[in-house]
Amino acid sequence: MSLSGVSERSVPATKIEITVSCRNLLDIDTFSKSDPMVVLYTQSRASQEWREFGRTEVIDNTLNPDFLRKFVLDYFFEEKQNLRFDVYNVDSKTNISKPDFLGQTFLALGEVIGGQGSRVERSLTGVPGKKCGTILLTAEELSNCRDIATMQLCANKLDKKDFFGKSDPFLVFYRSNEDGTTVKIDVYDWDRDGSHDFIGEFTTSYRELSKAQNQFTVYEVLNPRKKCKKKKYVNSGTVTLLSFSVDSEFTFVDYIKGGTQLNFTVAIDFTASNGNPLQPTSLHYMSPYQLSAYAMALKAVGEIIQDYDSDKLFPAYGFGAKLPPEGRISHQFPLNNNDEDPNCAGIEGVLESYFQSLRTVQLYGPTYFAPVINQVARAAAKIADGSQYYVLLIITDGVISDMTQTKEAIVSASSLPMSIIIVGVGPAMFEAMEELDGDDVRVSSRGRYAERDIVQFVPFRDYVDRSGNQVLSMARLAKDVLAEIPEQLLSYMRTRDIQPRPPPPANPSPTPIPEQP
């Protein structure tokens, strides 16, 4: 009989530790240098209010502090976690309630993690007419041991517990102390009704287990009750460790810190079923008072992903429109009207090009997804070393017209470093989109199944805040549609055995202005 098993593990919430330094701070003390302290505020998603999260220690008499006290935050890739760092001069402990303001900066946690080596440097502002210096932020992931132990064991001559047949053994592993050095293993005979019979136990250690990489290790299985009752008792069988290997489990943050970039591409539905953009009933209506569902979906997803793309240049396409001047129907036209370079500068640049396209093209049809999926897939296929991961956002209002071709495109793209987000806007039922989302049944085409689940579909109407709070609506949408991206990225890296690169060396910070004694 042989037994084999893999250690079970739970995935804790990702915690990020932020280290803070400042350079060339304002000097507002008369007889000495400033005594700086940094206060971190986080922003409530619902109310947008700033709340104090924590403070560093006060460092006396310096304009270039390196703070020892760090901030530990829960990190969620799918959320826009806005942070505010305020720097103060605290003359003495008695004056800590009324410190002098030295400057501040605003940014998202994703910007720190997505910075080169998970480091960013930002200018401090807020004191009119003054250069306030800079703040340096470094993010480090805090996590439990990421080692995954895989072992193969066999058992011999275990006590027979079943009357009519042989035992059905299984093992239960326990750590007997917090550092995990000692491991206790119980051996049971499995019973269908759950009243499993105890056979015996043995103890070992991580170090001893690891020796099995070079030699077999045999453990005696002992039953304490039998040992006490029977003088001639030897053991209740043996368990032999045949092999033991340890692999490290890398995280999403490991890859981002090692330089993996998220390349964001947008594709927007310009078919006539959306309605005339000049009419308030249109899903593309450009109201002076609020964003359309299309613009909200684009902004919600894009503002988070852009933190993980260093150049902030995003290809943006439209499909299903007639283009001027000859009225050619296109299923993949650049929103910026530049066939040679479809990139837009930042999400605001994408929005600007989208609004301009609405003024110039004619909404038409049909709704084809395959051309733009294949376009992004061609780019993803060129860089398969883990340094780039592509995310395509498709925003649409209705029934897809090229389902067969789209399934084929998705199946082909599933082997590439690529994910697809589909957001449905408007009142349509979107049954076809649900079929493309492979959570329940993996997408297939011509008898070939998608290698990975790379599609996430959601109808925007499920996330609209009833009170009309657009910020909350966008936050809810982004949280759901982006939640699968980290795991999809990791699944690609694992299947290709791609490990994260080591983070690049820290760029030397600007030389601080020498402090006068």
Q: What is the pLDDT of residue 450?
A: 94
pLDDT reading at 21 higher than 90? yes
Q: What is the pLDDT of residue 198?
A: 93
Q: What is the pLDDT of residue 517?
A: 37
Neighbouring-strand partners of residue 247: 148
Q: Summarize pLDDT for 120-132 with one digit per residue, the tens.
A: 999 999 999 999 9
More confident residue, 187 or 215: 187
3-class secondary-structure state, position 354: helix
Nearest to 380 by CA among 427, 419, 337: 419
Identify whether residues 113 and 182 lie together within a single domain. Answer: no
Identify whether residues 272 and 415 lie together within a single domain. Answer: yes
Identify whether residues 243 and 259 lie together within a single domain. Answer: no
Domain ranges, residue 33: 14-142
Nearest to 397 by CA among 480, 289, 281, 301: 281
Identify whether residues 269 and 416 lie together within a single domain. Answer: yes
- The CATH number of the domain holding residue 183 is 2.60.40
Last residue of a domain, one of 89, 117, 142: 142
Q: What is the pLDDT of residue 45?
A: 79
- The CATH number of the domain holding residue 417 is 3.40.50.410
CA distance 132 to 22: 10
* Range ranked top by mean pLDDT from 31-45, 174-188, 428-442: 31-45
CA distance 463 to 478: 9
- The CATH number of the domain holding residue 81 is 2.60.40.150
State the pLDDT confidence band at 166, using cuts at 50, 70 and 90.
confident
Tell me the pLDDT of the chain averaged across its residues.
89
Q: Summarize pLDDT for 311-341 with one digit per residue, the tens.
A: 999 999 999 999 999 999 999 999 999 999 9
Identify whether residues 339 and 458 lie together within a single domain. Answer: yes
CA distance 2 to 49: 59
Residue 1 belongs to some domain of the structure: no
Q: Summarize pLDDT for 103-112 with one digit per residue, the tens.
A: 999 999 999 9
* Range ranked top by mean pLDDT from 41-45, 163-167, 358-362: 358-362
Identify whether residues 468 and 351 lie together within a single domain. Answer: yes
More confident residue, 350 or 207: 350
Identify whether residues 222 and 172 lie together within a single domain. Answer: yes
More confident residue, 144 or 484: 484
Q: Average of pLDDT values for 296-303?
A: 94
Q: Average of pLDDT values for 52-75?
A: 95
Q: Summarize pLDDT for 459-500 with one digit per residue, the tens.
A: 999 999 888 889 899 999 999 999 999 999 999 999 999 999
Q: What is the pLDDT of residue 37?
A: 96
Residue 8 belongs to some domain of the structure: no
140-174 in b/e burial notation, b at 16+ Cβ within 10 A? Answer: bbebeeeeebebebebeebbebeeeeebebebeee
State the pLDDT confidence band at 181, using cuts at 50, 70 and 90.
low
Residue 516 belongs to some domain of the structure: no
| Cβ 272 vs Cβ 367: under 8 Å | no
Identify whether residues 104 and 68 lie together within a single domain. Answer: yes
State the pLDDT confidence band at 511, using cuts at 50, 70 and 90.
very low
Q: What is the pLDDT of residue 179?
A: 57
Identify whether residues 267 and 404 lie together within a single domain. Answer: yes
| Cβ 402 vs Cβ 305: under 8 Å | no
Identify whether residues 278 and 207 lie together within a single domain. Answer: no
CA distance 207 to 451: 37
Nearest to 373 by CA among 490, 265, 260, 261: 265
The total number of structural domains in the chain stands at 3
Q: Summarize pLDDT for 189-226 with one digit per residue, the tens.
A: 988 888 889 999 999 988 888 776 667 889 999 999 98
- Tell me which of 246-250, 321-325, 389-393 is least confident: 246-250
